[in-house]
Amino acid sequence: MLYIPCPHCGLRNETEFHYGAEAGVAYPDPNALADSEWAKYLHIRANPKGWLAERWVHFAGCGRWFNLWRNTVTHEIGPAYLPFTEQPKAPGNIGQEGPKA
């Protein structure tokens, strides 16, 4: 039962939230993309071992979406931030993330 800081409501139990995977994946201009790029938008989300900036929605509370740094190994919770605001620095090393090539 994670304890999640909703930027609007404060700390609440995880069961009040829904998960939204990696944060910051903007909806692209669909027509500007090749099939492979579009498929990537549809299906690929970061899945690092370590700190991950991810989306949550406080569905059983204020109903608002926000972003949160969370460590996928220790379950430590980092800062939360609102969509379209500057992303705070990761609280620690971010894990392997994204293609290296």
Partner 1 sequence: MTNTNDTLAPGTIGRRRAAALPEQPPQLWKSVKPKKAYDIVIVGGGGHGLATAYYLAKNHGLTNIAVVEKGWLAGGNTARNTTIIRSNYLWDESAAIYEHSLKLWETLEEDLGYEMFFSQRGVLTLAHSVSDVRLKRRNLYANALNGIDSEWLTPEEVKKLVPIINISEDVRYPVHGATYQPRGGIAKHDWVAWGYAKAASDLGVDIIQGTEVTGFDIRNNKVHGVHTSQGTIAAGKVGLVAAGHSSLLANLAGFSIPIQSRPLQALVSPLLEQVLNTVVMSGAVHVYVSQAHKGELVMGAGTDAFNSYAQRGGFHVIEHQLAAALELFPIFSRAQVLRTWGGIVDIAPDASPIIGVTPVENLFINAGWGTGGFKATPGSGWVMAHTIAHGTPHELNKPFALDRFLTGHLIDEHGAAGVAH
Partner 2 sequence: MSEISFIFDDNICKGQQGEPMAAALLRSGLLSITNSTYHSRPRGVIGLGVEEPNALVQLVSGTQESMRPATIIEVAEGLNARSLTGIGALPELPDEARYDKTNRYVDTLVIGAGVAGLKAADKAIQAGYQVLLIDDQPGPGGHLRHLGTGLPVALRDVLTNNKLTYVPRCTAVGLYDQNYIVAVERRSDHLGGAAPAGRARIRVWHIRTDRVVLAPGAFQRPLIFANNDRPGIMLSHAAATYVAIHGVQIFKRAVVVTVDNQGHRDALRLHQAGVPVQAIYDVRPAAGGASVDAAKAAGIPIRFRTTILDTVSNEEGTLQSVIIQDLDTNEIVETTADLLAVSGGWTPIADLATHIGIKPKWSEEHAAFLVHHGTDQLQTAGMLAGDFGGDDDPAVFFGPALDDEQARHAYIDLQRDATLHELRRAVGAGLHSIEHIKRYTTIGTSHDQGKTSGMLTIGALCQLNINSQGGNSGLSPADVGTLSFRPPYVPVPFAALAGRERGPLSDPIRITPVHQWHVEAGAIFEDVGQWKRPWYFPKQGESMEDAVRRECMAAREGVAVMDASTLGKIDIQGPDAAVFLDRIYTNMFSTLPEGQCRYGLMCKADGIAFDDGVTTRLGKNHFLMTTTTGGAAGVLAWLEEWLQTEWPDLKVYCTSVTEHISTIALVGPNSRQLLQELVKDIDLSKTAFPFMHSRMATIDDIRVRIARISFSGELAFEINVAWGHARYIWERLWTLGRPYDLTAYGTETMHVLRAEKGYIIIGQDTDGTQTPYDLNMSWVVSKKKEFIGKRSFRLPYLQATARPQLVGLLPENGEEVIPEGAYITELNAHPDEHGKTSHTGFVTSSYYSPTLGRAFALALVADGLNRMGEEVAVPIGKKVLHATICDSVFIDKENIRRD
| Binding footprint of partner 1 on the chain (CB under 8 A) | 1-2, 14-15, 17-19, 21, 35-36, 39-40, 42-45, 47-49, 52, 54, 70, 72-75, 95-101
For position 9 contacting Zn ion by CB under 5 A, the verdict is: yes
- Choose between 15 and 87: whose C-beta lies nearer to partner 1: 15
Q: Is 85 helix (H, G, I), strand (E, B) or coil?
A: coil
Question: Are the beta carbons of 9 and 59 closer than 8 angstroms?
Answer: no
Chain residues that interact with partner 2, rule: CB under 8 A: 1-3, 13, 18, 20, 26-27, 30-31, 33, 35, 38-39, 41-42, 55, 57, 59, 63-65, 74-75, 77, 83-84
Compute the Cα dihedral for 18, 21, 25, 31 and give only its sign. negative
Q: Is the dihedral of CA 57, 81, 45, 95 positive or negative?
A: negative
